[in-house]
Structure 1
């Protein structure tokens, strides 16, 4: 069943998928989206469903995941799975379950991450730093390490890692988040080179601040600082991020790999 018409709630509480100017061909593809129950991840879920893909949503928050499942009208092409990507065994179990449901994974969107508190490096709690890195960087590694062998067997794959402009420039009072996102960029470049001759593209995007639950939970003065750095003068729309991410996940993206695609509204200078 095709989803009706992204981002708005219909009168029955289900999500209506809005028609887009450009249509992506993801018919017959299966995608795993970590942290897909909200924010940019959920926007990607909706766009991929509209594009014909089957989607496995991995999220460690059962309450948010359940609410996400309730919103989506197309139950046949959506599989919601509780998974903590910071734990390798949890990723391995989620991968096994997803393969059992769909038989393959064509696309991996590594979106799940924690933002962490806002404070100077010399005051930053070591346990908070470790948790941010464990989920956002180690978790991305866990997912790639587990899913890539299945892509190699099939001779096809598209991986999109969600980094941040903070990973390029480093945001003050966000040492853990900036460090983690910089690591995601380096992981992307390394893995992209390793898989370049296997028809598996690995790229990442570097969004500026968007209205995600994690971003909006930061200190108001920190949000004002990073918003003030964007020449566009506004936040990134979730659907704008989903549009670029979904194109990178298509078969059309057949040459570029190990690359970083800017979503900073003009902030980044490289």
Structure 2
């Protein structure tokens, strides 16, 4: 066991996670968020899920600043300190030509996918900075790098998440807090079950492996990014695309 100590004197367990580390996962009630929660729990990390669904540890609309502020207060009152923040909650958004996209649907996609990530980082990063150790993992999308036809809102929102990740990663690079993102292609989750079959077929054709990713494959990457073994990577975007990514 390593004898390395973090700034708050917590030993590192097997060079992976601080003793008693707590991960807060938005969208943790299903899909990628649930897969990440299950794997991290298996590896000894305490996990709290945040979702609109009643089954989550904390119910919160992450696009509402007051609710996020209240969430942070509730976490503090529960005697918890967040070491790992995984921003997994998101919307697929409208599947339509840009000219046919309703502004309210555009706004809703941006509020959840971009504002939600911003607000969670704004309210929970300071605690990590104070502790001198933290990990933030944002779930972006390959669509944020390449753009998907007829998914302008989703693509633009995920591009914003990538930009936010790169900016915040640089900002916190000397504070012991690493900020990274993953950019998956289609993953077999409930989020994609309601996708227009034409859109799904079009996107599947662009994956050289010829299959969607699995939630547990994404969770493995997230778990590494959330660990102490990831020590010299911040502001980066990790593709999970079955070969689709070209840069």
1:231 aligns with 2:208: yes
The aligned counterpart of 2:241 is 264
Secondary structure, aligned partner of 2:78? helix
The aligned counterpart of 1:14 is none
1:172 aligns with 2:149: yes
The aligned counterpart of 2:88 is 111
The aligned counterpart of 1:8 is none
Kept after mapping to 1: 8 A contact 2:15/2:229: no
Kept after mapping to 1: 8 A contact 2:15/2:228: no
Give distance in 2, aligned partners of 1:243 and 1:132. 27
Give distance in 1, aligned partners of 2:208 and 2:245. 10
The aligned counterpart of 2:135 is 158
Q: Give the length in aligned residue pairs.
A: 233
1:147-174 CA distances to partner (integer Å, 9 max, x unpaired)?
A: 0111111111100000000000000000
Secondary structure, aligned partner of 2:20? coil
The aligned counterpart of 2:118 is 141
Kept after mapping to 2: 8 A contact 1:24/1:51: no
Give distance in 2, aligned partners of 1:200 and 1:36. 22
What is the CA distance between 1:24 and its match in structure 2?
Answer: 8.4
Give distance in 1, aligned partners of 2:103 and 2:133. 39
Give distance in 2, aligned partners of 1:173 and 1:216. 17
1:198 aligns with 2:175: yes
1:36 aligns with 2:13: no
- Higher deviation after alignment, 240-249 or 86-95: 86-95
What is the CA distance between 1:214 and its match in structure 2?
Answer: 1.6
Give distance in 2, aligned partners of 1:218 and 1:210. 12
Q: Structure 1 residues 30, 103: CA separation in 2 closer, same or farther (over 3 Å shift)?
A: same
Name the TM-score, length of structure 2 as normaliser: 0.91
Kept after mapping to 2: 8 A contact 1:105/1:147: yes
Kept after mapping to 2: 8 A contact 1:84/1:91: yes
Kept after mapping to 2: 8 A contact 1:24/1:246: no
Structure 1 residue ranges (4+ consecutive) displaced by more than 4 angstroms after TM superposition: none
Name the TM-score, length of structure 1 as normaliser: 0.84
Kept after mapping to 2: 8 A contact 1:30/1:102: no
The aligned counterpart of 2:50 is 58
The equivalent position to 1:25 in structure 2, one of 16, 33, 52, is: 16
Give distance in 2, aligned partners of 1:49 and 1:220. 34
The aligned counterpart of 1:73 is none
1:215 aligns with 2:207: no
1:252 aligns with 2:229: yes
The aligned counterpart of 1:72 is none
1:216-264 CA distances to partner (integer Å, 9 max, x unpaired)?
A: 2110111111111111110001000000001000011111100010101
Kept after mapping to 2: 8 A contact 1:227/1:235: yes
Q: CA RMSD in A?
A: 1.3
1:39-78 CA distances to partner (integer Å, 9 max, x unpaired)?
A: 000000000100101111000133xxx2xx6xxxxxxxxx
Structure 1, unaligned runs of 5 or more: 1-22, 70-79
Give distance in 2, aligned partners of 1:269 and 1:200. 29
